[in-house]
Amino acid sequence: MEQVWCKVDEYITDKLIPTDDVLEQALSKNKQAGLPEIDVSPAQGKMLYLLAKTKGARRILEIGTLGGYSTIWLARALEEDGELITLEAVSQHVEIAQQNINRAGLAERVTILQGKALDTLPQLKERDTLPFDLIFIDADKPNNPNYLKWALDFSKKGTVIIADNVVRNGSVIHAADQDERVKGTREFFDLLKQEPRIEATAIQTVGEKGYDGFVYGIVK
């Protein structure tokens, strides 16, 4: 089935996502630099773009930059006066992401904050940062519950919160699986269940990235 999923992703990309040298170069540069090949797929990237466009987002927070592939998709969806702040812990990733963002002509819209997100998020709070319209969580999975708490702090009524990789090939339902990433994901779901400030759902996905899923929520 995985071969079918990949072929369907290729079909979708061919039909609906035009060839884009900037995005393809970003993936190529990431691979050349030895970054983990865990970027969202082109179809997922365009979904993020369309969700941000639908929202009319002027302020976006991304937790987890990697090489900036998803950052470029999201930043392209911003309104003309928009701003995206993205957080990345690994200095090499920051360097590659900045190059990709510069090449995309988005340097004036995107700010990368280097450091562990649980360190940089309080710094944002100290700046009296305005609420964000959309927040994308795609960093180290054990800290997803903490990232959700911070995302809610940076939200307002109507803020969209999206979290990637929440199904993990179905491992999320297996209590015996004690992988820290899986445990963090289950705690994330538990927090969503009891959190009155947000309405959320989760969608399972298949494709070139395997079997996974994302959470989509709106702050009340």
Tell me how far apart the alpha carbons of residues 126 and 73 are, in angstroms, rounded to a whole number. Answer: 28
Instruction: Report residue 11's pLDDT band, with 50, 70 and 90 as the boundaries.
Output: very high
Closest C-alpha to 134, from 85, 167, 65, 201: 85
Residue 26 has what pLDDT? 98
Could you give the angle at which helices 144-153 and 117-126 cross, rounded to 10 degrees? 10
Rounded to the nearest angstrom, the gap between the alpha carbon of residue 196 and the centroid of all alpha carbons in its chain is 23
Tens of pLDDT, residues 81-99 = 999 999 999 999 999 999 9
Query: 199 in the Ramachandran plot: left (φ > 0), alpha (ψ -120 to 50) or beta?
Result: beta
CB 86 within 8 A of CB 115: no
Length of the chain: 220
Tens of pLDDT, residues 17-75 = 999 999 999 999 999 999 999 999 999 999 999 999 999 999 999 999 999 999 999 99
Identify the domain containing residue 106 by its residue range.
1-219
Instruction: Report residue 128's pLDDT band, with 50, 70 and 90 as the boundaries.
Output: confident
Burial of 187 per CB tally in 10 Å (0-12, 13-18, 19+): middle
- Tokens at residue 28, please? 């190529």
CATH number for the domain that contains residue 37: 3.40.50.150
Q: How many domains does the chain have?
A: 1
Q: Which residues contact 28 (CB under 8 A, 6 or more apart)?
A: none
DSSP state of 152: H
Tens of pLDDT, residues 148-190 = 999 999 999 999 999 999 999 999 999 999 999 999 999 999 9
